Amino acid sequence: MRRLTAPATLAVSALLMATGCSGGSTSGGAPTRSASAGPTSPDGPAEGSAEVAGTVTDKLASPWGVAVLPGGDLLVGSRDTGKVVRVSAADGRQSPLGTVPGVAAAGEGGLLGLAVPPGYATDPALYAYLTTGSDNRVVRMAVDDRRPEGQRLGAPETILPGIPKGTVHNGGRLAFGPDGMLYAGTGEGGRRELAQNRSSLGGKILRMTPEGRPAPGNPDAASVVYSYGHRNVQGLAWDADKRLWASEFGQNTWDELNLVEPGGNYGWPEAEGKAGRAGFRDPVWQWRTADASPSGLAYADGSLWLAALRGERLWRIPLREAAVEAAPRAFLRGNFGRLRTVVPTGDGGLWLTTSNTDGRGTPAPDDDRLLRLKVT
Q: What are 110-127's pLDDT values in tens digits?
A: 999 999 999 999 999 999
Planar angle of CA 248, 251, 254, nearest 5 degrees: 65
More confident residue, 79 or 1: 79
More confident residue, 288 or 4: 288
Long-range contacts of 85-94 (CB under 8 A, 24+ apart): 85/60, 87/56, 87/57, 87/370, 89/56, 90/4, 91/3, 91/4, 92/1, 92/2, 92/3, 92/4, 92/55, 92/56, 92/57, 92/370, 93/1, 93/57, 94/1, 94/57, 94/60
E strands, 211-260, are 225-228, 233-238, 244-248, 254-259
How many domains are there within the chain? Answer: 1
Residue 108 lies in a domain: yes
Residue 46 lies in a domain: yes
Nearest partner of 340 among 92, 49, 65, 152, judged by Cα: 65
Average pLDDT (194-222) is 98
Planar angle of CA 361, 330, 252, nearest 5 degrees: 60
Number of continuous H segments (helices) and E segments (strands) in the chain: 0, 27
- Compute, in degrees rounded to 10, the torsion defined by CA atoms 17, 22, 28, 31: 30
Q: Are 124 and 142 in contact (CB under 8 A)?
A: yes
Q: In what order do the strands lie in the sheet with 111-115?
A: 111-115, 125-131, 136-142, 157-163
pLDDT of 342 reads 98
Average pLDDT (189-201) is 98
- In percent, the amount of the chain with pLDDT more than 90 equals 87
Nearest partner of 116 among 149, 143, 152, judged by Cα: 143
pLDDT of 40 reads 31
Q: Is the pLDDT of residue 29 over 90?
A: no
For 326-368, how does the pLDDT look when each residue is reduced to its tens digit (9 = 90+)? 999 999 999 999 999 999 999 999 999 999 999 999 999 999 9
- Compute, in degrees rounded to 10, the torsion defined by CA atoms 16, 20, 21, 25: 90
Nearest partner of 260 among 298, 210, 226, judged by Cα: 226
pLDDT of 312 reads 98
Planar angle of CA 327, 300, 293, nearest 5 degrees: 55
Rounded to whole angstroms, the Cα distance separating 59 from 63 reads 10
pLDDT of 46 reads 42
Average pLDDT (23-44) is 37
Average pLDDT (52-67) is 98
More confident residue, 225 or 42: 225
Average pLDDT (193-222) is 98
H or E stretch including 184?
strand 182-185
Average pLDDT (265-280) is 98
Q: Are 27 and 332 in contact (CB under 8 A)?
A: no
pLDDT of 47 reads 76
H or E stretch including 86?
strand 83-87
Q: Is the pLDDT of residue 9 over 80?
A: no
256 contact partners, CB below 8 Å, separation of at least 6? 247, 248, 250, 266, 273, 283, 285, 286
In a 3-state reduction of DSSP, which class is residue 61? coil
Q: Assign residue 24 the CATH number of its domain.
A: 2.120.10.30
pLDDT of 331 reads 97
Ramachandran quadrant class, 26 (left: phi over 0; alpha: psi -120 to 50; beta: rest) = alpha
For the beta carbon of residue 7, count every other beta carbon within 10 angstroms. Answer: 7
pLDDT of 48 reads 85
Residue 3 lies in a domain: no
Q: Is the pLDDT of residue 20 over 60?
A: no
Q: Is the pLDDT of residue 28 over 50?
A: no
Q: What is the mean pLDDT of the chain?
A: 90
For 144-189, how does the pLDDT look when each residue is reduced to its tens digit (9 = 90+)? 999 999 999 999 999 999 999 999 999 999 999 999 999 999 999 9
**φ, ψ at 195 (rounded to 5°):** -65, -35
Residue 1 lies in a domain: no
Q: Is the pLDDT of residue 43 over 60?
A: no
Residue 267 lies in a domain: yes
pLDDT of 198 reads 97
DSSP state for residue 148 in the 8-state scheme: P
Residue 315 lies in a domain: yes
Residue 174 lies in a domain: yes
User: What is the domain range of residue 365?
Assistant: 10-375
Q: Is the pLDDT of residue 287 over 70?
A: yes
pLDDT of 73 reads 98
Q: Is the pLDDT of residue 100 over 70?
A: yes
Q: Is the pLDDT of residue 215 over 90?
A: yes
pLDDT of 256 reads 98
Q: Is the pLDDT of residue 1 over 60?
A: no
Average pLDDT (122-134) is 98
Nearest partner of 231 among 261, 204, 198, judged by Cα: 204
**C-alpha radius of gyration, the chain, whole number:** 19
Average pLDDT (233-254) is 97
Residue 4 lies in a domain: no
